Structure 1
Amino acid sequence: MTFKALPHWLRATQPWIVTPFAGAAGGALAQWLHCPLPWMIGALLGVTLIRCLGCLTKPVPHGVKLGQWIVATGIGLHFTAAVVGQMLQNAGVIILASVLTVVTCGVGIWLHRRSGVDLATAYFASMPGGANEMVNLGRQQGADLPSIAAGQSLRMMLVLLTVPASYLLIFGGEAHTHTNAPVHLGWLSLLFAIGGLIAWRFQRWHLPNAWQLGALAACIPLTAFFDLQVGLPPGAGAFGQWLIGSTLGCYFDRSFFKRAPAFMLRTLAGTCSIMLLAIPLAWILGRVSGLDIPTLALGMAPGGIAEMSLTAEALGLMVPLVTAIQVLRLLMVLFLAEPVFRVWVRLRSKTSDA
């Protein structure tokens, strides 16, 4: 049944009604094909497909918030006392890996600039931050906002579709079925409640990814302090992935892929370059620190916190290490990208005046 075949009142009042069904169909197919992260990647592709076919369905209201809340809580449960101690011992490596990831984004800036794209658009389209956040920063600098949104969305889609399968190919192994720790409803209720309150406050402060960061801010310290050995109920992680993937698919349609093809190709080239650069950089850091090289490389991939942490879980890698690098990089970009850009512009103007 197509979207147009639904009753008019239902389409008018619930424009998102097809989204969860398309996401569920794509997730089920991806799971049947034994894809890594099936419910996120499959849902993304399922919703993208129907939108490209002309069914411009909308995201499920608050679906991505609920998905991030669930997934981030599950990620935070990996941060036991022993794991946090190990992260603190390797804090220098984590910081360096985050910095190097941001620096490698200069490849994307260089590619766009060589083709005549203005500096603000090239800069904010290439930063490994969220689309909404980079658009807001770019708006203040007079950048081309549709190009930034398209570049950020395409980078996210490319990373999510290629990184899990590529890591299985490059580093070997197979998709890992995570064995849940014992479910403790009391602790889980407390963690979800505190995480929800923090997320709500973060949202009031207009922080990005509020429900993701809020859940992590609650879950990580409590899990580490009480050394919890708790897991989510079976199926909860897949449910969160389905909600996030279905929402991500709503970013794409036929017009998206037709928009500025040269700009999109440069974005693809820049993203692929960053992912390839992550491997030798991670090898060097791993040899020096003794940390797992595939985990470091995944942490340095220009994806999102939830997507890369879930990939680490699916591949049996160190989820806390990937999460730590991804969170630190996000904070660096959000708080330093605009000041660094202003300094860059100021230095360029002084150089041209001289």
Structure 2
Amino acid sequence: MQLRLVPPLFLVTPAVGALGALCAESIGWPLPWMVGSMVMVIIIRCSGWNLRDVPNGRRVGQWLIASVIGMHFSAAVLSEVSNHFLMMLVAALLTLLTALIGIALINRSGVDLPTSFFSLMPANSAEMIILGERYQADRARVAAAHSLRLVLIVLVIPAAVTWGLGTGARSMPAPADWSWLAIMLPTGFAVAWLWTRIGMPNGWAFGPMLVCAVFTIVFDLHLSLPTWLSKFGQLLLGCSLGSYFDRAFFRSAPSFLAKVLLITIAAIGVAFGAGWIMSLAVDVGPMSLTLGLMPGSSTEMSLTAEALGLGVALVTAMQIIRMVVVMLVAELIYKRWERRVQARRYN
């Protein structure tokens, strides 16, 4: 009897993703190791080969990329961010208002209120799925809407900013100092694990980011990850995003997904317009503000800012403040909205 050694299917996924990343890199596509891997995995899965996500791949990718983002938080940058706190709060409320308008539109088109609301809330998808289940939202549609929105933003925004509107001045990357990284990376991993264990949201992004930011500020460090390790983190994120999609995904609820797609495109347009208008009032570049206003994930938007030479700390802070605001008020707004709907129904 001859034994055949077949590697686990999830090991094929990063190989496919790396091929897509190399293709994207060869044509100069922005963020090639995330966008290229994501697109290639989607193409292969939609062709019928059910590639699987790498177990915990997204968590490892977030840990690495969040560590890079945290290293941008010097004391001077943190001071600049704190000076723009009011502006960032206004931006968070504007993004929330845009989402509420989209929710009203999709609800009026025939989608039930719980599914409409938690599908379009600009916050972490896991928390919105959990909240949605509590109020009888369609879990599959909520997950699909968040996946589609994030993938669309990751696919479109880096290219639009790079080729259509220009980027900031890119500085040379800081060196990789393993005498510090050997302490910071494991500490960030441990904090992420503990953060998740106690039920805090998005621990694999915020935990390592906080640890690296504290080290960078306290010890006045100027360092980053090696380029190959940063690319590996992007590869894992791209493969994870691509693994949400296959032919069944697009066939599941085409009308609903089309509505989410149109509303997301509109939200992107609002973010661009608002970013430009707000830049006239504050001394911040319009593209940094635009990324901060995007209803995407803090990890992906901050990574985009880092790759395009924009205000990484500002974008990260805007995304975090937006997520905190949404998490604080989402359930309250939903309950009030639901009561009004029921009151109209019985009058």
TM-score class, shorter-chain normalisation, is over 0.9
Aligned residue for 1:333? 326
What is the TM-score with the length of structure 2 in the denominator? 0.94
Separation in 1 of the partners of 2:187 and 2:166? 39
Q: Using the TM superposition, give the Cα deviation of residue 227 of structure 1 relative to its aligned residue in structure 2, in angstroms.
A: 2.1
Question: Aligned residues, how many?
Answer: 345
Residue of structure 2 in register with 1:110 after alignment:
104
Specify every segment of 5 or more residues in structure 2 that has no aligned partner in the other structure, as ranges: none
Aligned residue in 2 for 1:239: 232
Q: Which residue of 1 aligns with 2:278?
A: 285
Distance of 2:134 and 2:257 partners within structure 1: 23
Identical-pair percentage: 39
C-alpha distance in 2, partners of 1:28/1:216?
Answer: 28
CA displacement at 1:86 relative to structure 2: 0.5
Call closer, same or farther: CA 1:255–1:243 in 2, change over 3 Å.
same
Q: Could you tell me which residue of structure 1 aligns to residue 143 of structure 2?
A: 149
Q: Secondary structure at the match of 2:10?
A: coil
- Where does residue 47 of structure 2 map in the other structure? 53
Partner of 2:160: 166
| Other-structure match for 1:313 | 306
Q: 2: CA distance between counterparts of 1:336 and 1:48?
A: 34
Cα RMSD, aligned residues only: 1.9
1:82-121 superposed Cα distances (whole Å, 9 cap, x missing partner): 0001011111111111121121112321231121111111
Deviations 1:279-329 (CA, angstroms, capped at 9, x unpaired): 222223221122111110111111111111111122211111111111121
Matched-pair contact (CA < 8 Å) for 1:199–1:211: yes
Aligned-partner SS, 2:11: coil
**Which residue type is aligned with residue 266 of structure 2?**
S
**How far is the alpha carbon of 1:193 from its aligned partner?**
2.2
**Which residue is 1:215 aligned to?**
208
- The partner residue of 1:192 within 185, 188, 196 is 185
Moved over 6 A (4+): none
Decide whether the 8 Å contact of 2:167 with 2:310 is kept in 1.
no
The letter of the residue matching 1:207 is: M
- Name the SS for the 1:108 alignment partner: helix
**In the aligned structure 1, how far is the partner of 2:117 from the partner of 2:16?**
35
Counterpart of 1:78 in structure 2 is: 72
Worse overlay, 50-59 or 205-214:
205-214
Partner of 1:236: helix, strand, or coil?
Answer: helix
- 1:349 aligned to 2:342? yes
Residue aligned with 2:296, SS? coil
Give the aligned residue type for 1:116: G
Residues 115-139 of structure 1: per-residue CA shift (max 9 Å, x gap): 1111111111111123322111110
